[in-house]
Structures are given as structure tokens and as C-alpha cells.
Amino acid sequence: MSSLVEEHEVVEQSDVLTVRGLTVSVRDKILVEDVDLTVGPGERVGLIGESGSGKSLTALSVLRLLPEDVHARGSVRLSGIDHDLIGADERQLSRIRGRDLAMVFQEPMTALNPTMRIGDQIAEAMLIHRTVPNRRAARAAATDLLGRVQLPGVARAYPHQLSGGQRQRVVVAIALANDPALLICDEPTTALDVTVQAMVLDLILQGVAARESALLFITHDLAVVATICQRVLVMYGGRVVESGPVHEVFTNPRHRYTQGLLAASDLDSAAHRLPTIPGNVPAAGNFPTGCVFRTRCPHATDLCTTTPPWTGPSPHGYACHHPAPELVTVETKQGKFEEVADG
Amino acid sequence: MSGLGGSVDDEGGPVSDRGAPESALGVPASGADVSTGGGASTGVGGPTGVGGSALRRSAGRRLNPSLVVGGIIVLVIVLTALVSFVWTPYDATLVDPAVRLAKPSWSHWFGTDKFGRDLLSQIMVGSRTTLFVGLVAVGVAAVIGVPLGILAAMTRRWSSELIMRANDLLLAFPALLLAIMFGAVFGASTLTAMVAIGIATVPSFARVIRSGALQVMRAEYVLAARAAGRRPFPIALRHVLPNVTSLITVQASVSFAIAVLAEAALSFLGYGTPPPTPSWGRMLQESQEFLFSAPRLAVFPGVAIAIAVLGFNLLGDGLRDRFDPKLEDRR
Amino acid sequence: MVLRLVERTAVLLVSLAVSSVLVFGFMAVLPGDPARVALGVNASDEAVAQLREQFGLDRSLATQYLDWLGGLLRADFGTSYVSKVAIGPQIFDRLQVTLWLVVVGMIVALVVAVPAGTVMAARHRKISGLALSAISQLGVAVPAFLAGILLIMLFAVKLGWLPANGWTPPASDPGMFLRQLILPALSLGLVQGAVLTRYVRSAVLDVLREDYLRTARAKGLRPFPALWRHGLRNAAVPVVTVLGLQLATLLIGAVVVERVFVIPGLGSLLLDGVSNRDLLLIQDVVMLLVVAVLVVNFLVDVLYVALDPRLRVGQR
Amino acid sequence: GSGTSSGPSTGANQSLAIGLVAEPASLDFTTTDGAAIPQALLTNVYEGLVKQDESGKIVPDLAKSWTISPDRKTYTFELVDNAKFTNGAAFTAADAVFSINRVKSAWTTSLKAAMDVVQDAKAVSPKQLQVTLSKPSNDWLFRMTTRIGAMFSQTGVDKLATDPVGTGPYKFGSWKRGDSIVLQRNDSYWGTKPFFNQVSLKYFKDPTALNNALLTGTINVIGTVQAPEALSQFTSNTKYQVIEGTTNGEVVLSFNNSRPVFKDVRVRQAIRSAIDHKALLDTCFAGRGKLIGSMVPPTDPWYEDLTQVAPYSKDKAKSLLAAAGATGKSLRLRLPTLPYATSCGQVVKSQLEQVGLKVQIDQLEFPAAWLTTVFKNADYDMSIIAHVEPRDLGAVFSPKYYTRYDDPTLQQALAAADAGDEATQVTEMKKAARRISEQAAADWLFLLPNLVVADKNITGLPVNAITESFDLSKLARS
Amino acid sequence: MAEPVIQVTDLVRDYPRPRTSLLRASPPVHALRGVSFEVQEGERFGIVGESGCGKSTLLRIIAALDRATSGQVVVEGTDITRLPERRLRFLRENLQLVFQDPMSSLDPRMRVRDIIAEPLVVQGHPASGERVRELLEAVGLSADAGDRYPHQFSGGQRQRISIARALAPRPRILIADEPVSALDVSVRAQVLNLISDLVDELNLTLIFVSHDLSVVKHVCSRVAVMNAGQIVETGPTADVYAAPTHPYTRRLVSAVPTLQRALSGATTTDLVKGVPST
Ligand SMILES: Nc1ncnc2c1ncn2[C@@H]1O[C@H](COP(=O)(O)OP(=O)(O)OP(=O)(O)O)[C@@H](O)[C@H]1O
Ligand SMILES: Nc1ncnc2c1ncn2[C@@H]1O[C@H](COP(=O)(O)OP(=O)(O)OP(=O)(O)O)[C@@H](O)[C@H]1O
Ligand SMILES: [Mg+2]
Ligand SMILES: [Mg+2]
Ligand code: NI
């Protein structure tokens, strides 16, 4: 782990987001533990993991929008901001939110105020931060933004008059309104149909590219991450278990969880029976000590009761006592992972 | 984690035309916290994907103070009532001019009233009346309101509409009015007054139960039961009713508090519990002459009423929190 | 939207018709012959029969009903059997009094409840919120008349700041009117306010949990501005419902406070009517009340549409 | 003032507010029963030919004097000559004839029966009236002091319910229903004009509110204190005066004498003995009021102290019950919803249960439900009510009344009293009073006191309240 | 070919919409507009389509839980569309459902044992503890699971319970409405395997509904693609997937992101190819 930190310290100044040792807990239960995370300028980083692995909590900690009794420790720094976001007060935070740091949430149906017109909700984002001179300019900018997410002419509509995909595009427009340095998307397309998902993903990517914003993209869908991200972090049980460039992680997973996940989600090439990960994802706070995956890991030994150290000075790192062997030649023919791992 | 947990909320189609006001109307005319959920939340018509509300809800549930305090108060009242059947310091209706208006002392802990009756004994026996009052009112309301609510949720559009309209109509007859009119027709007694209060409480029961039952009816296990061949009546009995019991309990304890207050108000107006049955409401009314000379005559029953109402309200709040994980942190 | 109005209006009219039959039917079974009560204890049977005829009590129920309804539609409430005075003006007088009381009480309640409920919800984990919450729970638990008696004992009898009871119409002596209004409006308003506070708190708590509030925060709004701009309107819907119900039921429900403060309101008119078996008067008051409740419900319904655009079907 | 006394000088523009309990349902006592209307209007707005003074004597009012023929059937009244109705018409003998005849023709309340005995009334001259009775009746002249004797204007009876017209010292001002009746001084009054320019009668359902109103200066006088326990706050305060006198209101524990159990005189006597009247009065009326042993208040000429006819004795009560085989009998005590009845009922229940009776209390809403059930249908065993009509012994203990008391001996005495001269009347009435007491036709719990609390400086308040009216004419502020 | 087990002909289902105008009735929601297909004995038939296209409506009508506006559903030779509930016994015994939402498809107030036994009890079979244990075992749960309540299980386990319940009356047809859409990837594989195994073992006819093309492709041999209440394309899964003929199908296939395509350089621009802007 320390090596990773060192490696990134070199470029620390230029990183948009730097999270160090983030631990999120509710009362005595630890939900997210010791997460490190950096996002470089213009970089697109994916955060994947199954339900309950702590992805949303991580994202919300960055914005400091955690539910009331949930607390975050560690350090969250944003380039250009001279204080740590953890420990900052509401006044400081509200200046950052929506301006340097924007977020798109999962549920498009409830993310918009049902009693306010779409245009006003977008305009508000700019008015709050005074990035436009006046109300009229804000309206014009809002209409413009709506046009760019391909929703011309809905400024005077109310949210309930739009479909889920359309609402999500409005949310994206709100998030991009002030050209944020970092856009965080928390499963923005999970609730959408594939065809609509394709469009929304495309819009997000275009928007991010046009503004040279960095993107932290949270999803449980490996294929989506593979499509839009350059780098990926795999979370399980509140910890980052593996991280690295998308191509490397997905073609040569080292952590046994990543490996299992890839195999289980690959429906296309698997035979009649799918490779599975035994057992279920434990409930929050019920993950085992040591290696969080050890109760479901076919390779677990006594060693796994100790927390595995972070391995990998290279961009591709993982935390596992029994990693899958490194492949020399990148094999894209699926279905071989298991064989390789067994070998 | 109850049957009416957030899971059902996650589902559901586009907001119906009457969705918001109806669930909003499902609140009693008085009382404590009410869940007003449903109105504002829009559902998604699409696949939820790997959305994770499932595990989130298992997150820790503390004993909430409302429930504990409310429970203890109610328990104390029930115990007092039970004890009063076998033992009270004095016969609560025994008139003894020799000790009238006695101050609190070792022989009469709370003192005596103008008839020389022991206040403590009256308070104790009065708790019986209070419980009786609540049980009758809530019983009537539940026995009529719950089936009506379930029926309204399970039947077709027009018949359920009819039930709910009738319900609205009943809402136009406030509890106090009904009680006074019932008293005039059937003679003033605690029973008639409370039956009237109960009837006036039917609408709020029916509404709450209906919206709960509607949620249950939307759940897939009802569909599964139908696919297994269950008929509507057994479904109502085995699936809907058990899954709205939490709502019934909450509504019952809030209504209980309202009934206790209503009895006090009626007694004040002279339409409540007739003498000599001890009742807190009447004690309070009788104490009026003595507000200056012996304020304690008003203090004891007044405090008793307030505590009882508080207890049932807190219990209701506590139960609501407990049953509805969405409202987990309410107090 | 127009359709909704039309539909609501139809429902209102049908409800009114049905309830008029209910009210009349209920009166018909009320024991106690109004003629005998009016004539007193040892009236002869002939005298009673004569009076019954005079009041038209000897006609068929259907005729009586239609007569009554026809009168109501012409705003003619009939003449009391007991006092032989036209009922309409009486009801009107009393209604004015009660409306003052109820409306001012409600304003007090709102002024107390909206900020208190909001703060309670926003700080529901903090001591200040908990303390407010506990106070409101106590407020809910105190019967309104007890609150009234306590207020009188303190402000009128002990301190002598305000009159203990009585009523002066605003036109005849505005100063006195205000002084006499304060205590009853307070005792009504504080208790109702406590009840309302619970609803406001609950509604605001619900809203606080909504995703769009999180969106607003993510835009850079601080918690209270976010609640103010995005939350209150959404929280208003359930609160308006309760408010409507309270307003309507208080027309009679205020009778206890009217009794304590000796205010000649609608509630006490009804109680007098019941004890004098002033049948027609009771019938009229109850009907008026039912109309009030139904109309208020109707208005509340219309108000929803203003508050919640989702209900404006047929737009766009 | 009946024109004889000069009285205090008229206060310039002073007004007075009096707090009362029962508000009239109408202003027309010719068709509406109830004590509240004459309380407000009689002797204040309406006047009769004669009236009762505070000691119970019949004295002149609109009649300066009168003579009775030797056969005691013809009464000749000389009328005052300057009396005027508030509608401007002068009061003449013709009005008197009109008023007397109108009782028979237009009145609907049961009280009109008192006028049945009148055979003929005629105006001999504008100022002389002659009334002929069909039989001698002492009672008739007495009834003329009550509302029956009120003199109406021939031209002023169209709107009795809302606009009463009389000759009295006050004229009707306004009526805010549910709140107050305002009377204005009649500046063209024929007698001594009253002190106050305006008197409002304010009505309070709730005794505590009534007390508070006096304490906070909303009213100056509490006409009748309903909550005697609360008197202490006034007696201890030098700002107020408390007046205690007697009334005509006998609080009667009535028996339904048509019920088999009450046909046995021993049961009735047992109940009388079982009740400790002193303790009862202390408990339910704070010891205010007077114990009486029969249906006669001390202000009646034939009053005798009969409280010792049935002294308190539990043992005697028990043995009487045992002898009658009524021990353990269950009786329904149906109470009207009136504070004193509710209070006393509970004491009665407790005391009767101590001698082995079972008593079940029912509350009936007053007036409607109680009147129908108990009064009209006599569906009760025992009840408690105050009979406030004056000289009502005969009326209350008759077979047709709700007491269902059928006693020829009593009826004989009453008839003789009515027909005889004053002396005979007194002896026969004493006999009657003793008869019902010994026969225990009912139990008399106590006589309601006249409790008046007023600002210290109010004068002219009556000590006893034995007439139907609350006489405002002598009130003044010192 | 033998007579189809399920034959759906020209099925139409309109839902009335609340009026918005006084003069005109609102146009109904056309949830299904003339759907026809057949399913053969032992076949694994998939239905794909996006949200709101009428998949669930179709299944409800096939299971006689909803009434068609017009058209016909013939199950094992009997037309069930107009049968009264009391004549549907054969259907209740032969056709069972598994639902999407693991949270709401099990009655939280019932023990797992009673949930599984419910179809048996309703249909008057002896609901022996033996059979329940057998079913629990068949879906890979331990026998003591019967004593517990649904909330004590994870999503995947609940879906297993759902499946056990569906299998209780020994149906010949199993209808699954998005049974894995709400599950985690790692658990999804388990449930899919379980369904596959059971269908093979018990020789079931399977109708499998999903919005996820790849899942259908994995499970089913034949697939129908639905769009806006109509079936736009039917055929062997592999063919439809490899060479979609209908434009909608093409759009659908291209919009699904897959690992392989992504790793070989596909971008979002490739995904939106053919997706019109709405
Ligand atoms: N307010 C809270 N109190 C207690 N536990 C919580 C709270 N919020 C979240 N959790 C728990 O923390 C864990 C991580 O939650 P998080 O929302 O970050 O998961 P996620 O990875 O985003 O999953 P999903 O894919 O379902 O969104 C979950 O197990 C959840 O139950
Ligand atoms: N009971 C109903 N009343 C009115 N409209 C309905 C009803 N049920 C479904 N619909 C409508 O019918 C259409 C088809 O719904 P259906 O539930 O069958 O879709 P689906 O394909 O199963 O979607 P999903 O993937 O979201 O489950 C939708 O537009 C829906 O809004
Ligand atoms: Mg999440
Ligand atoms: Mg569906
Ligand atoms: Ni390991």
C-alpha cells in the first residue's frame, strides 16, 4: 500500500482528488475502511463492486453528504482547495459543492424537486455560485445546457412530465452547469434501460470531455466501467481490493474476488453452467476480519485472517495473500480465467 | 424489518392522479407523528438493477426512547387498573364527610375530594375508565375501519371510491359532535360517548389501513398467492391483515390517546362518564370549584390525563419508528 | 385540471346531498319532543299537538325534509321551535364569533408549528430538537380546556392582565375585542399548534429524506436554504390536509374553549340547542358544519393542485 | 320601588352587570316555560297588580289597593293612574282585563291553570278592575304575584318572544344570545326610577367562569352562586360582599310513589331516616342552605320546623327496611345533569347503601331528557331536583304529578286552605306540610340558599330570593 | 411438431387511463397490442424488452392473474382467457411464477416453511414437512431455513425460496419475471445455474423474462423481443443476437455494453449507434 501512496505523491499536486485513509463508520460499525483514491485531471476512474461494498458511501464522503449518524475519517483533498474536505464546515463545503465538485445520483425519478420547473432547477445551480451575472442569464444558460443534453424546450416542464432517462439527463445538466473539476456519478444508469443508458453514458462522456473535467464513475456493471473508464478500483466489503488500468485489471485480475466477479458476470462466453462465487455478500459490518473476501474465497488459508498488504508498485495493485498468477500474454479469450487461476 | 418496509416504496408505477393527496389524507385529525410517505415519492417503472436497499435496512436498530417511555407509561396504567380491581387504599366511591377535602397525608396520599373520597383510589379506579374508554373507541374504530380499509384497497375502482367517499363524509362529523348527539339519543354514558368517538375515528383508520393495504396488494407475494390459487378473502386474511397489523397498532395507540382526551373534554361539558364511576375527566371537571382553595384536586387528574395521553402517543410514535425502517430515527 | 375541479365539485354536491339526508334522519330519531320541551313540564296534550301543528311537525318526514332543504337552499334556516326566533341570523352571529376564534387560533398554531416543527425535524438528533419535540408532545397531551383554565388562572386572575372571559364584537370595541380574544385564541392555538407541530415535523422529516434535497445540497445549497427552497412546498401538502381538517372540526371542537371563556360561539349554540331539544336549530348547525367540513376538504383538494404540479393532469 | 319609598337618587349614567346561570330560551313566558324568563323580566319589565315583598307578604304594585268580597269570590282592584307601557300606551283596567283573559286564551304553558278559577274580569272604570272567581281561592291572589299576573299592553303582544312591552322600571334593550340580555332604564316609569341606567344580565354556563368574571371585573354581581365551594375566595376578600338568604328552592329527593316499593310508607320513612342531612348539606353544598323537613320554605306564613319528624338514624332506617322486607332492594336514582343533583345524588347513594339498599345512578340530560323520562313518563324510582316555584306543595304532591303521590287527606287539607280565610289557610297548610313529612312523600334534602356575591359598593341586593324575579329596581351603587 | 404448451394469439391489453378532459375519454394505455407466440413443451423461451414494454402484463395474463382485453391464451389445450377462477385449478397446479423483487415476493409475516407450503395448502395437497425439506434442499438451502422468516435471508437466498415455492406443486411450466435483475452479479450466477439445473432435472417448460439480453441469451434457446406492447422479432437466441433483423433489436443489441467489446476498444459512441435521440 505504501508504495502506491509514494507513487502518487509525485503527482499529488496535479491530482484533482486525493483521498487518503478514508474510513466511514456508523456508530460502532465500520462500513468503509482505509480507502485510498486519486483522480488525476481529466482522468476517468471507475469504482466497481457489488451492492453494499461501500461505493456510495465513499462518494458521499467526498461530498460530505453522508447520512446524519454516519461519520468519515481520513483525508479528502481537492486541487485548488486549501483545506481538507473532512472537517470543513458547511459554509466551506457549500462553496465547493456544485462548483468544483458535482455529483449525479442513482435515482433519476426522485432526484429532482417535483414542484419546481426543470429550467429553474438548472438555473439555480448557477445562481447559487454566481457563475452567471443574473437570473436571465441563468435561464438562458439553462436552456442552452438542456439543448446540449438533447432536451430542448423542456425548461418549463416539471420533472413528472419527463421519463427516467430524460430526468437523468437533466441531473447531468445540473451537475455540469458550473464546469466542475470533478464529476462523481453514482450508478447514474442503473435504473435506466440499456438504450437510454447508452445515450446518458455518451452524454456524460461528452460533457466531461468538453470541460476537461475528471470523472469518478461508480457502478456495479463491469462492462460499463470497461467502456468508459481508464482506471478502475474494485471494492468489496468496504475496502479497495484491487486497482489499476481497466484493461489490465479486467484481463489479468490478481485478486481472487475480481477474478470471480469477472467470471460470474461473463454470460456471453460461459458454457451452460456459470462459474460462481460461493456464498452471499455479508451484511454491512458482518464482513470477516483480515481479508474481507476470505469467507467466500476458495483459496483462503489461515493466513487470510490477517489483513493482506497492498501489493503492486506498478499502477496495477491488489490486496490478496493468494493472488492469481500474472499472465504473460494477455488472453482475451474468456472462460480461461478459471483455468489460469487453478494453474 | 416489517412487511411494509421501504421495499414496496421502491416499486410502483407513475404517480397516480390522486396519489399524493390521498395518502396525505390518511392522517388522523389529531395526534402525533404521522407517516406521510408515499405522497412525494415517485416510483420507477424500470428495472432496479442491483440497487441496494436490501442490505441497508438491516443496519442497526436501537431501542428507541419513545417506545420505552411510552411502553412503560402504558404498562403502569394497565397495572394500576388491574391492581384497582383487587385493591385500592379506600373504596373509591365511599362518601365520608368527616374527611372531606383532606390534604395529602399518610392516610390519604393524594388527599380527598369534597365528598371525602380518597383521590388516590379514584385515580386508580379512574385508570380503568380511561382504558375502557380507549378500548371501546379504538375497538369500534378498528373493527369497522380495518375491514373497510382493506376492502377499499382490494375492490374495484368504483366500489373502493364509494367506500372512501363515505369515509370522507363521516369525516365531516367531528368526534365531539357525534358524541354529543349520540349522548342525546341513547343517553349519556361512557359507552355511548366512546362508541361515538370510535365511529368518528373510523375514517382515519380506514384511510391508513387502506394505503397500507394498497402497498401490500402491490407486493409480489400477493401475486404469488393468487398464482397459487388463493381467493381474495383468504388473501385479505393471511397476507394483507398480518402485514398491516403494525399500522393498526400505531393507529390504535394514537387513537387511544385521542379518545382519552375526548373523554376528558366530554366530561368537562357534562356529556362524559356519569357519576359515581370515577373518571379522570370528571374528576377534573368536579375540581373546578376548588381551583383556588384546593388546586391539587385538579392537579392529580390533570397530570394523570396528560401522562396517559403522552404515554399512548409516545407508544404510537415508538411503534411507528420500529415498524417503519424509513422513519427509523424519529422521535 | 378543470376535470379534477369538476369531479371534485360533483363529489362535493353528492356528499352534501347525502349528508343532508343523514343529518335529517338523525334528528328524526332524536328522543324528546321539541313541542313538549318548549311548552314545559305540565303542558296539556292538546297544547302540544297544537304546537306540533304550528311547527309542521305533524307532517310526513319526507315533506319536512324537502321543506327544510328548500329553505336551506334559499338561505332560510327556519324559525326555532323553542325561542321562536329566526335561526339564520343566530347561526350567522355565532359563526362569526367562532370563525374569529378558530382562524386566529389557527394562525397562532401555524406561527408556532411551522418554525418549531421545522427546527425539530432539522435538528431531530440534537438536544434543541429533542427538547422542542418533548415540549410538543406535552402540548399534545394537555386537554385544551385545561390549558384555557391555566391561562385564565395565570393571566386573568393572578396577574390581572387580561379579562378572564367574555366576548365583544370587533366593531363595537376593537380594544376589548382584542383583549378578550388573546387568551382563548392562545389556548386553542397552542394546543392545536402542538398537534400541528407533530405533523410539520413529520412532513419535514419525510422531505429531508428525499433525494432532491440531497441534489440541492450537492448543488451547493446549505441545509436550511435547501430546506426552505425545495422542502417546504413539498412538505406543505400533508400539513395543509391536517390544517383543513382541524379548521373544519374546530368549528364545533372549539366549544370546550368557548365554554371556558364564555364565548357565544357556534359550539355553545349547538350544545344549548341539544339540551333544549331545539331540533331545527341542531339540524341547521350540524348541516352547516358538515357543509363547512366538506367545503374545506374541497378547497384543500384544490390547493393540492396549486402545490403539487404532478396533480395538474393534462398539462403539456 | 312601588311608589311608596323615595329611594336613592338616580345614578347619572351608571351601568351594572349581573352574572346569572340559566339563559332563557325565549323571552315569551306565555308560551315558553322555565324560570329564566321571569327572572329577567318580571317586576323589571313587566309588573303585576300585586307583588310579594321580601318577607313573603303580598303588597300593592300596579294596583294601589284591593278589596275582597265577603264570599271571598270577588276582588276589586284600584289601579295606579300614571302607569304607562313602554310602547307609549297608558295602563288601564282594560289592559288588566285583556291580560287576565289572555292567560286563558293564548298562554300555552301549564301555569295558565292558575287562572282557571277566574270566572269573569271586567273594567269597572279605567282605573278600577273587578275579578270574579268561580270559588274562593287564596291561591289565586298569590299567583297574581307571579308571571301569571303580569300586565300586558293590548297593543304590545305581537312580538313577545323578541320585544317584550311592560310597565316596569326597565325596558328591554337587547339580547345577545348565548351571552347577555341588556335592560335599559325606563325613563317614563310611573314609580321611583331605578338607579342604574343600564343593567346587563350576563349568562354563564360554567360556575367557574362566573366566578372568574366577577374576580376580573367583567361583572359586578353574581346573582346566584352555583359553586358554593368557591365562595371562600370572595369571603376572604374585602372587595366583595357575600349575601346569604333563602329561596323557594326545595331540593327534593323525590320518590315515585306509584312504584310498589314506595307504596310502603316504611320504605319511604326508612330512606328519610337513612339520610344524614347535615352531612349531606356540608358535602354537596358546602354547608350553605337550610335544612327543612317539608315542602315549605321559612318565608311562607305556614312554615314550621319539621326537621325532627325523621331524624337521622341508621338503625331505625335498617329496621324499617327489614320490616318492609325491602333490605337489599335495588333502586334507580335518575339525576338531571345539574351540579347540585349530581353532587347530592352521590352522597344519597352512599348513605342509602350504608343501610342496605342498592342504588344505581343514571344521569339524564337536563332539561330535555330528564323532563321526558322522569317528569312526564315517571320512569324512575328516585330523583333529585330543586322545586323553585313558590308555594308548590300542592302542585308537587298530587297524583298527576311525577311524584304520583295520591293522598286524599292531603288533598282535603289543601282544598280547605285554598277556600278559607287567611287564618284557616295557615292552619290547613301546616297540617298539609306535616302530613307529607310524616308520610315521607319525599325527602327534602335542603333548601337552596340565596347566595349573592357582589362588589362591596352595590346596595339594594335582596337577601331572600322568594319571587320569580331578580328585582333590579332597588339596586344602586354607593 | 407437437401441440404447443402455451399458445398466445393476438393478445391485447388496454389499461384505462384516468380522464383528463371532460369531453373525451383519455386514450387507454396499450400495454399489449396483439402479441402472438407459441412455446413448445420443454422449451426455454425468453422474452426481452425494455421497461414498460408489457412483459409483466403478458406474464400476468398467461398466469390468469389479469384479464386480456382481447385475444387468446391457450395453456395445454385449454383457453384460459375467459375461464372463471374456480375453473383454473389445472393452471394453478401446472404453471408457477418467480418474481423479480426478492424483497417483496415473500410475505414477511410468514415462516419460510409456510411460504413454500402455501401453494400446496391452497390446492389441497398434503403439505408435509418432508416435501418442504425436499424443496429447500433442491434449491440449495438447509432444512432449518424453513423455521426462519424471509428477512433473515439475503437476496439470492430469497430468490431460492421463491423458486422453491414455485416448484412446490410440481408445475410443468415455470415462468420467471426478471428473477435475477435485482441480484448481485456473484449471486446472479448462482441463481441462473439453479434455474437451469432445475429446468433440466424436472423437465420444465421455462418462460424467462428479462431486460438483459445477455442473461436471456445465456438461459434461453428461443427469444422474443418486445417493444411497446408488440413482439418485433422471434427466433433462436443465437441468431437474433448475432444477426438482428428488426431495427429495434439491432439498436438493443448494439446498446448493451460488454466486456469483450469494451476491451477491444468499443466506446459509448458505438453503444449509441442506432439509438435515436428522444
Ligand atoms: N446510514 C447508514 N446506516 C447504517 N449503515 C449504512 C448506512 N448507509 C449505508 N450503510 C451500509 O453501508 C454499506 C455500504 O453502503 P453503500 O451505499 O456505500 O453501498 P454501495 O456499494 O453503494 O451499494 P449499492 O450498489 O447498493 O448502491 C451497506 O452495507 C449499507 O447497508
Ligand atoms: N394496472 C395497470 N394499470 C394501468 N397501467 C398499467 C398497469 N400495469 C401496467 N401498466 C402499464 O402497462 C405498460 C406495460 O407494463 P408492464 O409492467 O407489463 O411492463 P414491463 O415490460 O414488465 O416493464 P418492467 O420491465 O418495468 O417490469 C406500462 O406502460 C405500464 O405503465
Ligand atoms: Mg450505492
Ligand atoms: Mg415487469
Ligand atoms: Ni485472500
On the CB side of A210, how many CA atoms lie within 13 Å of its CA? 14
| pLDDT band, residue E18 (cuts 50/70/90) | low
B60 CB within 6 A, ligand 2: no
Distance from Cα A61 to the centre of ligand 3, integer Å: 12
Low-confidence ranges of chain A (pLDDT < 70): 1-13, 269-271, 314, 328-343
Q: Is E35 contained in some domain?
A: yes
The minimal CB distance from B2 to the residues E108, E110, E166 is found for E108
C315 contact A CB<8A: yes
Q: Is C277 left (phi over 0), alpha (psi -120 to 50) or beta?
A: left
How much is the average pLDDT of E128-150? 86
C-side interface with E, Cβ within 8 Å? 2-3, 6, 313-314
Low-confidence ranges of chain D (pLDDT < 70): 1-12
B101-110, C142-151, D108-117, D407-416: range with lowest mean pLDDT: B101-110
| CA A69 to ligand 1: nearest atom | 1
- With a cut of 90, say whether residue E46 has pLDDT above it: yes
| Segment (H or E) for E227 | strand E222-227
- The residues facing E70 across adjacent strands are E12
Dihedral (Cα; A234, A239, A241, A245), 10-degree rounding: 40
B275 contact D CB<8A: yes
Choice from A22, A29, A57 to test ligand 1 binding pocket (greatest atom count within 8 A of CB): A57
Residue C259 is predicted with a pLDDT of 82
Q: Is E222 contained in some domain?
A: yes
- With a cut of 60, say whether residue B35 has pLDDT above it: no
Chain A nearest-CA distance from E152, in A, is 11
A70 CB within 6 A, ligand 1: yes
CA angle A295, A299, A300 (to 5 degrees): 45
Q: What is the pLDDT of residues C198-254, one digit of tens each?
A: 888 888 888 888 888 888 888 888 888 888 888 888 888 888 888 887 887 777 778
**CB-CB neighbors (< 8 A) of A200 in chain B:** none
- Best of B1, B10, B17, B56 to substitute, by most chain A Cβ atoms within 10 angstroms, is B56
**CB-CB neighbors (< 8 A) of D111 in chain C:** 40
Residue E262 is predicted with a pLDDT of 83
Domains of chain B with bracketed CATH: 82-323 (1.10.3720.10)
B-side interface with A, Cβ within 8 Å? 14-15, 40-52, 54-56, 58-60, 329
- Each residue of B86-111: b (16+ CB within 10 Å) or e? eebebebbebbbebbbbeeeeebebb
Domains of chain A with bracketed CATH: 4-234 (3.40.50.300), 238-341 (no CATH)
Residues 207-246 of B with CB under 8 A from E: 218-221, 223-231, 234, 238-239, 242-243, 245
**SS3 per residue for D408-447:** HHHHHHHHHHHHCCHHHHHHHHHHHHHHHHHCCCEEEEEE
Distance from Cα D464 to the centre of ligand 1, integer Å: 84
Burial of D353 (0-12, 13-18, 19+ CB in 10 A): middle
| pLDDT band, residue B63 (cuts 50/70/90) | low
Cell 306565555: give the residue. Answer: D30
| Amino acid in the structure at residue A219 | T
Among chain C residues, the shortest Cα distance to A177 is held by: C219
| pLDDT band, residue B231 (cuts 50/70/90) | confident
Cell numbers describing residue A256: 481472487
| pLDDT band, residue E9 (cuts 50/70/90) | very high
| pLDDT band, residue C39 (cuts 50/70/90) | low
Give the number of residues written for chain B: 331
Residue D46 is predicted with a pLDDT of 92
- Other Cβ atoms closer than 10 A to E243: 11
Q: What is the pLDDT of residues E92-130, one digit of tens each?
A: 889 999 988 888 889 888 889 989 988 888 888 776 788
How many Å separate Cα D214 from the centre of its chain?
25
Give the number of residues written for chain C: 316
Cell 466542475: give the residue. Answer: A180
pLDDT, greater one: D142 or B101: D142
Among chain C residues, the shortest Cα distance to B182 is held by: C30
Residue C36 is predicted with a pLDDT of 66
How much is the average pLDDT of E149-178? 88
Cell 383457453: give the residue. Answer: E79
How much is the average pLDDT of E149-164? 86
Q: Is E58 contained in some domain?
A: yes
| Amino acid in the structure at residue D413 | A
- With a cut of 50, say whether residue B42 has pLDDT above it: no
Considering only CA atoms, which residue is closest to atom 8 of ligand 2?
E57
Give SS3 for B109: coil
Give SS3 for A294: coil
- With a cut of 80, say whether residue C158 has pLDDT above it: no
CA distance linking residue D115 with residue A142, whole number of Å: 94
How many Å separate Cα B69 from the centre of its chain?
17
| CA B46 to ligand 2: nearest atom | 26
**CB-CB neighbors (< 8 A) of C261 in chain D:** 209
For the ranges B110-124, C72-86, C284-298, E234-248, the one whose mean pLDDT is highest: E234-248
% of chain E exceeding 90 in pLDDT: 27
Computed on alpha carbons and rounded to an integer, the radius of gyration of chain E in Å comes to 20
Q: Is E248 contained in some domain?
A: yes
Q: What is the pLDDT of residues B13-33, one digit of tens each?
A: 332 322 222 322 233 333 333
| Amino acid in the structure at residue E94 | N
How much is the average pLDDT of B308-321? 82
Residues whose CB is less than 8 angstroms from the CB of residue C126 and which lie 6 or more positions away in sequence, other chains included: none
Q: Is E74 contained in some domain?
A: yes
- With a cut of 80, say whether residue C292 has pLDDT above it: yes
Number of domains chain E is built from: 1
Under a CB-based contact definition with an 8 Å cutoff, are residues A316 and A333 in contact? no
Residue C31 is predicted with a pLDDT of 63
| CA B50 to ligand 1: nearest atom | 25
Residue B31 is predicted with a pLDDT of 34
E52 CB within 6 A, ligand 2: yes
The answer to whether the Cα torsion of E238, E242, E248, E251 is positive or negative is: positive
| CA B52 to ligand 1: nearest atom | 26
CA distance linking residue D446 with residue E194, whole number of Å: 92
Cell numbers describing residue B297: 384536586
Of residues D184, D248, D295, D302, the one with CA closest to residue D468: D248
Of residues D442, D256, D264, D423, the one with CA closest to residue D331: D256
CA distance linking residue C207 with residue D120, whole number of Å: 85
Ligand nearest to the CA of A258: 5
Checking B191-194 for CB contacts under 8 A at 24+ apart, the result is B191/B136, B193/B262, B193/B263, B193/B266, B193/B271, B193/B272, B193/B273, B194/B132, B194/B133, B194/B136, B194/B137, B194/B140, B194/B259, B194/B263
Q: What is the pLDDT of residues C66-112, one digit of tens each?
A: 888 888 888 788 887 777 778 888 888 888 888 888 889 889 989 98
Q: Tell me D106's DSSP state.
A: H
| pLDDT band, residue E277 (cuts 50/70/90) | very low
Of residues A61, B20, A336, the one with CA closest to residue C303: B20
Residues whose CB is less than 8 angstroms from the CB of residue C177 and which lie 6 or more positions away in sequence, other chains included: C168, C169, C170
Domains of chain C with bracketed CATH: 32-76 (no CATH), 87-313 (1.10.3720.10)
A56 CB within 6 A, ligand 1: yes
Residues of the domain holding E158: 6-17+30-263
CATH code, domain with E231: 3.40.50.300
Q: Is E269 contained in some domain?
A: no
Is beta strand A239-245 parallel, antiparallel or unpaired with respect to A317-318? antiparallel
How much is the average pLDDT of B295-312? 86
| CA B44 to ligand 2: nearest atom | 26
Residues whose CB is less than 8 angstroms from the CB of residue D378 and which lie 6 or more positions away in sequence, other chains included: D256, D258, D402, D404
CB contact under 8 Å between B47 and E118, yes or no, is no
Of residues C269, B293, C275, the one with CA closest to residue D227: B293
